Amino acid sequence: MSNTKNITICNTLCNTEILAIFNDHDPALLEQLAQEAQKITRRYFGRTISLYAPLYLSNHCANQCVYCGFHASLKIPRRKLNEQEIEAEYQALAHAGIQSILLLTGESRQHTPPEYLEAALKAAKKYFANIALEVYPLETEEYARLNAAGCDGVTIFQETYDQARYKILHPAGKKSNYAYRYDAPRRIALGGLRQITLGVLLGLADWRQDILALHAQLRSLEKEFPGVDYAISFPRLRGTYDYKEKNYLVSDAELVKIICVTRILFPRIGINLSTRESASFRDRAVHFGVTKISAGSSTAVGGYAGLGASPACPPDRAVLENAPQFAVNDERSVAAVKAMLEKQGFDPVFTDWRCLAA
């Protein structure tokens, strides 16, 4: 790929050309991509960055993803929040100024059935403007029910689109059904949800192929459901468990390239960056493509109120210290992330979408 290639026409590039960009290690090309991505992001999102926080309702999981700290056969303290504890978590987060939350569970239909999620959503409506879920894949009618209960969006990661790797990484449990998971975004859209976040877990397989496949899925969804707001997350694998596979790790430069190329190909989609990434990486990524970042995150069940905010939910040290799903890499508070954004010339936005359904 020559550096003089006009990358503004990337959205007309074929996969071979995109792969050529992926495989070109010229720093000048990377800079060119970043500049273009920045221009596009500014055009559609201006200087605003949305803030959200993840909230883990449960760490029960029936699956055996070999890379995950919640993995069913791991002997970790399992816990799911009861109604009171959920309320306490909501209060703690709302108190920190968070208006947009992502509710997560491990993938256990048995411990966190749709009714449980429904109740959590209904309770969340009192506190938050925007509520999304990241849970096991559901049926269309179930998504419709969750929509009616106040769910604005659903996040579902395919993890990897490499089917051979997928099989190795998800040896047992419902999650081993690749096709059922792949079809989940369609069911989410058919269920009436407005926001769908897709993603791959970088580090599980060859990222180049994964990103191409992710883009292809997104293109076909855009065509079938043009009214949905799409977003993408690119979490990089961070070990909390003894997953030793190092062959597929993604470098900082590669992640930058992934974000920039995705932005150029999909000018209007949201791009999220979680606290898996370091503070220094996040501080820079907001300049060229990222539009939404989590802040003040805890990835442990009960992690917000448990850290001392509420007498209703005393800290459970065992859970807090031993069993987050992954290690947080940017531990700054919501206020600190907000201050960082302001310092860098951004407007941190807490309310950017509210469902006004009757």
Partner 1 sequence: MDELIIGGQKLTSRFFLGTGKFASKKIMRETIAQSGAQVVTVALRRVDIQQNAENFLNFIPQNVQILANTSGARQADEAVRIARLSQAAGLGNWVKIEVINDSKYLLPDDQETLKATEILASEGFVVLPYVTPDLYTARALVKAGAAAVMPLGALIGSGQGLQTKYLLEILRQEITETPLIVDAGLGAPSQAAAALEMGFDAVLVNTAVSLAADPVEMARAFGLAAQAGRAAYLAGKMPAGNAQASSPLTGFLHNE
Which residues contact partner 1 (rule: CB under 8 A)?
42-48, 97, 99, 129, 194, 222, 226-230, 268-269, 342, 345-347, 349-354, 356-358
> Please, what is the Cα angle at 138 between 137 and 143, to 5 degrees?
125
**Closest to ligand SF4 by CB, 237 or 337:** 237
DSSP H helices in the chain:
15-22, 27-45, 83-95, 114-124, 140-148, 163-169, 178-182, 184-190, 207-224, 252-265, 279-285, 317-322, 334-343
Q: How far is CA 355 from CA 149, 193, 233, 351, 352, in A?
A: 11, 11, 22, 11, 10
**Closest to ligand SF4 by CB, 11 or 163:** 163
Angle between helices 252-265 and 15-22 (to 10 degrees): 150
| Dist CA 125 CA 147 (whole Å) | 12
Minimum CB separation of residue 229 from partner 1 in Å reads 5
Return the sign of the alpha-carbon dihedral for residues 192, 193, 194, 196.
Answer: negative
| Dist CA 111 CA 295 (whole Å) | 27
Question: How many residues are listed for the chain in this entry?
Answer: 358
**Closest to partner 1 by CB, 28 or 358:** 358
Reduced to 3 states (helix: H, G, I; strand: E, B; else coil), residue 281 is helix
**Binds 358: which of ligand SF4, partner 1, none (CB < 5-8 Å by kind):** partner 1
**Binds 346: which of partner 1, ligand SF4, none (CB < 5-8 Å by kind):** partner 1
**Binds 106: which of partner 1, ligand SF4, none (CB < 5-8 Å by kind):** ligand SF4
Q: Tokens for 116?
A: 């449980």
**Closest to partner 1 by CB, 67 or 128:** 128
Minimum CB separation of residue 26 from partner 1 in Å reads 29
Q: Which residues bind ligand SF4 (CB under 6 A)?
A: 61, 63, 65, 68, 70-71, 106-107, 175
Using alpha carbons, select from 244, 308, 250, 301 the residue that is nearest to residue 276: 250
**Closest to ligand SF4 by CB, 175 or 257:** 175
**Closest to partner 1 by CB, 45 or 207:** 45
**Binds 179: which of ligand SF4, partner 1, none (CB < 5-8 Å by kind):** none
**Binds 28: which of ligand SF4, partner 1, none (CB < 5-8 Å by kind):** none
**Binds 71: which of ligand SF4, partner 1, none (CB < 5-8 Å by kind):** ligand SF4
